[in-house]
Structure 1
Amino acid sequence: MQFVVKGKPQGKARPRFSPRSHTIYTPSKTTAYERIIALEFKTAGGKCLPAGHYVAVDVLAFFPIPKSYSRHKRQDCIDGKIRPDKKPDADNILKAVLDGLNGYAYDDDKQIVEAICRKYYTGDEEGYIWVAVREVNTAGGHNDERK
Protein backbone atom coordinates (compact mmCIF):
# COMPACT_ATOMS: atom_id res chain seq x y z
CA MET A 1 0.00 0.00 0.00
CA GLN A 2 1.38 3.39 -1.02
CA PHE A 3 0.00 6.87 -0.48
CA VAL A 4 0.99 10.54 -0.48
CA VAL A 5 0.42 13.25 2.12
CA LYS A 6 0.67 16.70 0.56
CA GLY A 7 2.28 19.57 2.43
CA LYS A 8 5.69 20.22 3.95
CA PRO A 9 6.88 17.16 5.90
CA GLN A 10 6.48 17.52 9.65
CA GLY A 11 8.14 15.73 12.50
CA LYS A 12 6.66 14.49 15.74
CA ALA A 13 6.89 17.33 18.26
CA ARG A 14 8.10 16.67 21.78
CA PRO A 15 5.40 16.00 24.37
CA ARG A 16 4.38 19.04 26.39
CA PHE A 17 3.51 19.35 30.06
CA SER A 18 0.42 21.23 31.22
CA PRO A 19 1.07 22.92 34.56
CA ARG A 20 -2.67 23.47 34.97
CA SER A 21 -3.79 19.85 34.64
CA HIS A 22 -0.40 18.28 35.46
CA THR A 23 -0.64 16.03 32.39
CA ILE A 24 1.59 15.37 29.43
CA TYR A 25 0.06 15.87 25.98
CA THR A 26 0.98 15.81 22.29
CA PRO A 27 0.84 19.28 20.69
CA SER A 28 -2.27 19.85 18.54
CA LYS A 29 -0.24 20.49 15.36
CA THR A 30 1.30 17.00 15.65
CA THR A 31 -2.05 15.39 16.45
CA ALA A 32 -3.64 17.06 13.40
CA TYR A 33 -0.79 15.90 11.13
CA GLU A 34 -1.11 12.32 12.39
CA ARG A 35 -4.87 12.42 11.65
CA ILE A 36 -4.14 13.59 8.08
CA ILE A 37 -1.71 10.69 7.61
CA ALA A 38 -4.35 8.20 8.83
CA LEU A 39 -7.00 9.78 6.58
CA GLU A 40 -4.78 9.61 3.48
CA PHE A 41 -4.00 5.96 4.25
CA LYS A 42 -7.71 5.13 4.53
CA THR A 43 -8.58 7.18 1.43
CA ALA A 44 -5.98 5.23 -0.57
CA GLY A 45 -7.77 2.02 0.41
CA GLY A 46 -5.36 0.88 3.10
CA LYS A 47 -6.31 -2.07 5.29
CA CYS A 48 -5.09 -2.86 8.79
CA LEU A 49 -2.60 -5.71 9.14
CA PRO A 50 -3.71 -7.73 12.17
CA ALA A 51 -1.53 -8.56 15.16
CA GLY A 52 0.97 -11.30 14.43
CA HIS A 53 1.96 -9.85 11.05
CA TYR A 54 5.31 -8.12 10.58
CA VAL A 55 5.24 -4.67 8.96
CA ALA A 56 7.73 -2.54 7.00
CA VAL A 57 7.25 1.21 6.50
CA ASP A 58 9.18 3.34 4.02
CA VAL A 59 8.90 7.14 4.07
CA LEU A 60 10.28 9.53 1.47
CA ALA A 61 10.03 13.14 2.65
CA PHE A 62 10.15 15.76 -0.12
CA PHE A 63 10.87 19.34 0.97
CA PRO A 64 10.30 22.43 -1.15
CA ILE A 65 13.54 23.99 -2.40
CA PRO A 66 14.24 27.28 -0.57
CA LYS A 67 13.40 30.27 -2.75
CA SER A 68 16.75 31.88 -1.88
CA TYR A 69 18.69 29.13 -3.73
CA SER A 70 20.31 30.08 -7.06
CA ARG A 71 19.17 28.41 -10.28
CA HIS A 72 22.29 26.19 -10.25
CA LYS A 73 21.78 25.18 -6.60
CA ARG A 74 18.06 24.50 -7.30
CA GLN A 75 19.03 22.13 -10.11
CA ASP A 76 21.48 20.34 -7.82
CA CYS A 77 18.60 19.86 -5.37
CA ILE A 78 16.34 18.41 -8.07
CA ASP A 79 19.17 16.12 -9.25
CA GLY A 80 19.66 14.85 -5.69
CA LYS A 81 23.19 16.28 -5.37
CA ILE A 82 21.99 18.43 -2.45
CA ARG A 83 19.65 16.92 0.12
CA PRO A 84 17.87 18.57 3.05
CA ASP A 85 19.94 18.34 6.22
CA LYS A 86 17.63 20.54 8.23
CA LYS A 87 14.80 20.06 10.67
CA PRO A 88 12.64 18.13 11.04
CA ASP A 89 14.98 15.21 11.65
CA ALA A 90 14.30 12.01 9.72
CA ASP A 91 13.58 10.09 12.93
CA ASN A 92 10.90 12.61 13.96
CA ILE A 93 9.28 12.47 10.50
CA LEU A 94 9.22 8.68 10.74
CA LYS A 95 7.78 8.79 14.28
CA ALA A 96 4.92 11.07 13.15
CA VAL A 97 4.09 8.68 10.30
CA LEU A 98 4.30 5.55 12.47
CA ASP A 99 2.11 7.07 15.18
CA GLY A 100 -0.36 8.35 12.58
CA LEU A 101 -0.72 4.85 11.10
CA ASN A 102 -0.97 3.08 14.46
CA GLY A 103 -4.35 1.36 14.66
CA TYR A 104 -5.02 2.00 10.95
CA ALA A 105 -2.25 0.24 8.98
CA TYR A 106 -1.34 -2.16 11.78
CA ASP A 107 -2.80 -3.15 15.12
CA ASP A 108 0.17 -1.94 17.13
CA ASP A 109 3.46 -0.31 16.17
CA LYS A 110 5.35 -3.15 17.87
CA GLN A 111 4.62 -5.07 14.62
CA ILE A 112 7.04 -2.81 12.73
CA VAL A 113 10.26 -4.69 12.06
CA GLU A 114 11.63 -2.46 9.27
CA ALA A 115 11.46 1.32 8.85
CA ILE A 116 13.28 3.71 6.52
CA CYS A 117 13.02 7.48 6.12
CA ARG A 118 14.82 9.44 3.40
CA LYS A 119 14.79 13.20 2.82
CA TYR A 120 14.91 14.89 -0.61
CA TYR A 121 14.13 18.20 -2.24
CA THR A 122 11.36 18.59 -4.79
CA GLY A 123 10.46 21.25 -7.34
CA ASP A 124 6.92 21.06 -5.91
CA GLU A 125 6.31 24.26 -3.96
CA GLU A 126 4.51 22.70 -1.01
CA GLY A 127 6.39 19.42 -0.49
CA TYR A 128 4.92 16.06 0.47
CA ILE A 129 5.65 12.66 1.97
CA TRP A 130 5.35 9.36 0.13
CA VAL A 131 4.63 6.39 2.38
CA ALA A 132 4.69 2.66 1.65
CA VAL A 133 3.38 0.09 4.13
CA ARG A 134 3.82 -3.59 3.46
CA GLU A 135 3.74 -6.92 5.20
CA VAL A 136 7.17 -8.47 5.68
CA ASN A 137 7.54 -12.02 4.46
CA THR A 138 9.41 -14.04 7.06
CA ALA A 139 10.42 -16.78 4.61
CA GLY A 140 14.17 -17.06 4.36
CA GLY A 141 14.79 -15.30 7.65
CA HIS A 142 17.93 -13.38 8.53
CA ASN A 143 21.07 -14.59 10.20
CA ASP A 144 22.67 -12.36 12.79
CA GLU A 145 26.11 -11.75 11.27
CA ARG A 146 27.46 -10.36 14.56
CA LYS A 147 27.74 -13.85 16.09
Structure 2
Amino acid sequence: MSDSVTIRLPGAPRGKGRHRAQLVQRAGQKPRIHSHPDQKTEIYEGALRVAAGLVMRGRPLLSGPLAVEMFAFLPIPASFSKRKRLDAIERRLRPTTKPDWDNIAKVIDALNKVVWADDAAVVDGTVRKFYGEKPELVIVVRALEPQAGRLAA
Protein backbone atom coordinates (compact mmCIF):
# COMPACT_ATOMS: atom_id res chain seq x y z
CA MET A 1 0.00 0.00 0.00
CA SER A 2 1.29 3.44 -0.92
CA ASP A 3 2.24 6.03 1.69
CA SER A 4 0.84 8.85 -0.44
CA VAL A 5 -2.61 10.05 -1.41
CA THR A 6 -3.69 12.35 -4.25
CA ILE A 7 -7.02 14.17 -3.88
CA ARG A 8 -8.58 16.10 -6.76
CA LEU A 9 -11.46 18.52 -6.35
CA PRO A 10 -12.79 19.87 -9.66
CA GLY A 11 -13.82 23.50 -9.93
CA ALA A 12 -12.22 26.82 -9.09
CA PRO A 13 -10.16 26.55 -5.88
CA ARG A 14 -11.40 28.53 -2.90
CA GLY A 15 -9.59 29.80 0.13
CA LYS A 16 -10.97 29.49 3.63
CA GLY A 17 -13.33 32.39 4.32
CA ARG A 18 -13.51 34.39 7.50
CA HIS A 19 -15.98 33.60 10.25
CA ARG A 20 -18.93 35.97 10.31
CA ALA A 21 -20.22 37.65 13.43
CA GLN A 22 -23.36 39.56 14.20
CA LEU A 23 -24.83 41.27 17.22
CA VAL A 24 -27.98 39.54 18.44
CA GLN A 25 -30.26 41.36 20.86
CA ARG A 26 -33.57 39.84 21.87
CA ALA A 27 -36.16 41.67 23.93
CA GLY A 28 -35.37 41.43 27.63
CA GLN A 29 -31.96 39.80 27.09
CA LYS A 30 -28.42 41.07 27.04
CA PRO A 31 -26.96 41.58 23.59
CA ARG A 32 -24.52 38.88 22.47
CA ILE A 33 -22.26 38.17 19.55
CA HIS A 34 -23.19 35.21 17.37
CA SER A 35 -20.29 33.80 15.31
CA HIS A 36 -20.70 31.38 12.42
CA PRO A 37 -18.44 30.03 9.66
CA ASP A 38 -18.58 31.29 6.09
CA GLN A 39 -21.24 29.23 4.31
CA LYS A 40 -19.35 28.96 0.99
CA THR A 41 -16.30 27.66 2.88
CA GLU A 42 -18.44 25.05 4.65
CA ILE A 43 -19.79 23.81 1.31
CA TYR A 44 -16.32 23.75 -0.29
CA GLU A 45 -14.74 21.90 2.64
CA GLY A 46 -17.63 19.42 2.58
CA ALA A 47 -16.95 18.70 -1.09
CA LEU A 48 -13.24 18.29 -0.29
CA ARG A 49 -14.09 15.83 2.52
CA VAL A 50 -16.21 13.78 0.09
CA ALA A 51 -13.43 13.74 -2.55
CA ALA A 52 -10.88 12.69 0.09
CA GLY A 53 -13.23 10.04 1.47
CA LEU A 54 -13.54 8.46 -1.98
CA VAL A 55 -9.74 8.27 -2.28
CA MET A 56 -9.30 6.96 1.28
CA ARG A 57 -12.06 4.35 1.10
CA GLY A 58 -10.80 1.27 2.90
CA ARG A 59 -7.43 2.78 3.76
CA PRO A 60 -6.25 3.53 7.29
CA LEU A 61 -5.64 7.15 8.25
CA LEU A 62 -2.14 8.37 7.45
CA SER A 63 0.02 8.82 10.52
CA GLY A 64 3.46 10.05 11.49
CA PRO A 65 5.00 13.16 9.97
CA LEU A 66 3.25 14.15 6.73
CA ALA A 67 4.03 16.46 3.83
CA VAL A 68 1.29 18.21 1.85
CA GLU A 69 1.61 19.73 -1.61
CA MET A 70 -1.34 21.74 -2.87
CA PHE A 71 -1.72 22.75 -6.50
CA ALA A 72 -4.45 25.33 -7.15
CA PHE A 73 -5.33 25.55 -10.84
CA LEU A 74 -7.33 28.76 -11.20
CA PRO A 75 -9.54 29.50 -14.21
CA ILE A 76 -7.96 31.54 -16.99
CA PRO A 77 -9.82 34.89 -17.20
CA ALA A 78 -11.88 35.32 -20.36
CA SER A 79 -10.40 38.81 -20.71
CA PHE A 80 -6.91 37.42 -21.41
CA SER A 81 -5.57 37.95 -24.93
CA LYS A 82 -4.55 34.89 -26.97
CA ARG A 83 -0.90 35.53 -26.11
CA LYS A 84 -1.57 35.98 -22.40
CA ARG A 85 -3.78 32.88 -22.40
CA LEU A 86 -0.97 30.85 -23.99
CA ASP A 87 1.48 32.17 -21.38
CA ALA A 88 -0.95 31.08 -18.66
CA ILE A 89 -1.41 27.60 -20.14
CA GLU A 90 2.36 27.14 -20.53
CA ARG A 91 2.92 28.35 -16.94
CA ARG A 92 4.94 31.43 -17.90
CA LEU A 93 2.22 33.52 -16.24
CA ARG A 94 1.08 32.70 -12.71
CA PRO A 95 -1.96 34.08 -10.85
CA THR A 96 -1.34 36.86 -8.34
CA THR A 97 -5.04 37.14 -7.57
CA LYS A 98 -7.26 35.80 -4.81
CA PRO A 99 -7.55 33.34 -3.23
CA ASP A 100 -4.40 33.98 -1.19
CA TRP A 101 -2.08 30.98 -0.89
CA ASP A 102 -2.41 30.88 2.90
CA ASN A 103 -6.20 30.72 2.72
CA ILE A 104 -5.94 27.87 0.20
CA ALA A 105 -3.71 26.02 2.67
CA LYS A 106 -6.25 26.41 5.46
CA VAL A 107 -8.86 24.27 3.71
CA ILE A 108 -6.87 21.15 4.67
CA ASP A 109 -8.74 21.30 7.98
CA ALA A 110 -11.43 19.44 6.02
CA LEU A 111 -9.12 16.41 5.81
CA ASN A 112 -9.06 15.85 9.59
CA LYS A 113 -10.39 12.37 10.46
CA VAL A 114 -10.62 11.56 6.72
CA VAL A 115 -6.96 11.44 5.60
CA TRP A 116 -5.23 11.86 8.98
CA ALA A 117 -6.34 12.06 12.59
CA ASP A 118 -5.29 15.71 13.01
CA ASP A 119 -3.55 18.21 10.74
CA ALA A 120 -0.91 18.68 13.44
CA ALA A 121 0.78 15.69 11.73
CA VAL A 122 1.54 17.91 8.71
CA VAL A 123 5.15 19.05 9.18
CA ASP A 124 5.88 20.25 5.66
CA GLY A 125 3.67 21.92 3.11
CA THR A 126 3.56 23.96 -0.08
CA VAL A 127 0.87 25.74 -2.04
CA ARG A 128 1.39 26.51 -5.70
CA LYS A 129 -1.01 28.58 -7.79
CA PHE A 130 -1.26 28.15 -11.55
CA TYR A 131 -3.76 28.95 -14.25
CA GLY A 132 -5.42 25.92 -15.75
CA GLU A 133 -7.83 25.19 -18.57
CA LYS A 134 -9.51 22.81 -16.14
CA PRO A 135 -9.76 24.57 -12.73
CA GLU A 136 -9.22 22.24 -9.79
CA LEU A 137 -7.48 21.78 -6.47
CA VAL A 138 -4.99 18.90 -6.29
CA ILE A 139 -3.67 17.84 -2.89
CA VAL A 140 -0.84 15.32 -2.57
CA VAL A 141 -0.23 13.96 0.94
CA ARG A 142 2.73 11.72 1.64
CA ALA A 143 4.26 10.16 4.71
CA LEU A 144 7.79 11.34 5.48
CA GLU A 145 10.63 9.19 6.65
CA PRO A 146 11.32 9.87 10.34
CA GLN A 147 14.76 11.35 9.59
CA ALA A 148 13.63 13.36 6.52
CA GLY A 149 14.37 17.04 6.82
CA ARG A 150 17.15 16.62 9.37
CA LEU A 151 19.56 19.56 9.26
CA ALA A 152 23.26 18.87 8.85
CA ALA A 153 25.36 19.75 11.90
State whether structure 2 residue 150 is matched by structure 1 residue 142.
yes
* Alpha-carbon shift at residue 141 of structure 1 (Å): 4.9
State the number of aligned residues: 140
* Alpha-carbon shift at residue 25 of structure 1 (Å): 2.0
State whether structure 2 residue 14 is matched by structure 1 residue 4.
no
Q: 1:57-92, CA deviations, whole angstroms, 9 ceiling, x for partnerless residues? A: 110000111001111110000111100000000110
Q: Which has the larger radius of gyration?
A: 2
Map of 1:1-147 to 2, 5 A cutoff?
1-20=5-24, 22-45=33-56, 47=59, 48-50=61-63, 53-96=64-107, 98-124=108-134, 127-143=135-151
Q: Distance in 2 between matches of 1:35 and 1:26?
A: 13
Once the two structures are aligned, what percentage of the paired residues are identical? Answer: 32
RMSD: 1.7
* Alpha-carbon shift at residue 142 of structure 1 (Å): 0.8
* Alpha-carbon shift at residue 55 of structure 1 (Å): 1.3
* Alpha-carbon shift at residue 139 of structure 1 (Å): 2.9
Q: Distance in 2 between matches of 1:25 and 1:111?
A: 27
* Alpha-carbon shift at residue 104 of structure 1 (Å): 1.2
Could you state the TM-score of these two structures normalised by the residue count of structure 2? 0.84
Q: Does the CA-based 8 Å contact 1:34-1:100 persist in structure 2?
A: yes
Q: 1:19-47, CA deviations, whole angstroms, 9 ceiling, x for partnerless residues? A: 22623221111011111111101112354
Q: Which residue of 1 aligns with 2:29?
A: none
- Secondary structure class of the residue paired with 2:40: helix
* Alpha-carbon shift at residue 140 of structure 1 (Å): 5.0
- Secondary structure class of the residue paired with 1:22: strand
Q: Which runs of 5 or more residues in structure 2 are unaligned?
A: 25-31
Could you state the TM-score of these two structures normalised by the residue count of structure 1? 0.88
